[in-house]
Amino acid sequence: GQNIDQPTEMTATEGAIVQINCTYQTSGFNGLFWYQQHAGEAPTFLSYNVLDGLEEKGRFSSFLSRSKGYSYLLLKELQMKDSASYLCAVRDVRNRDDKIIFGKGTRLHILP
Q: Is 50 in the site for other proteins (CB under 8 A)?
A: yes
The nearer residue to other proteins, 13 or 25, going by C-beta atoms, is 25
Shortest CB 107 distance to other proteins, Å: 10
Q: How many Cβ atoms are within 10 Å of 16's Cβ, its own excluded? A: 12
| Size of interface with other proteins, in residues (CB under 8 A) | 22
Q: Is 100 in the site for other proteins (CB under 8 A)?
A: yes
Q: Is 87 in the site for other proteins (CB under 8 A)?
A: yes
What Rg, from alpha-carbon coordinates, does the chain have? 14
Q: How many Cβ atoms are within 10 Å of 109's Cβ, its own excluded? A: 12
Q: Are 86 and 110 in contact (CB under 8 A)?
A: no
Q: Which alpha helices (H) appear in 1-112, and where do they start and end?
A: none
The nearer residue to other proteins, 81 or 96, going by C-beta atoms, is 96
Q: How many Cβ atoms are within 10 Å of 53's Cβ, its own excluded? A: 9
Q: Which residues lie near other proteins (CB under 8 A)?
A: 31, 33, 35, 41-45, 48, 50, 87, 91, 96-105
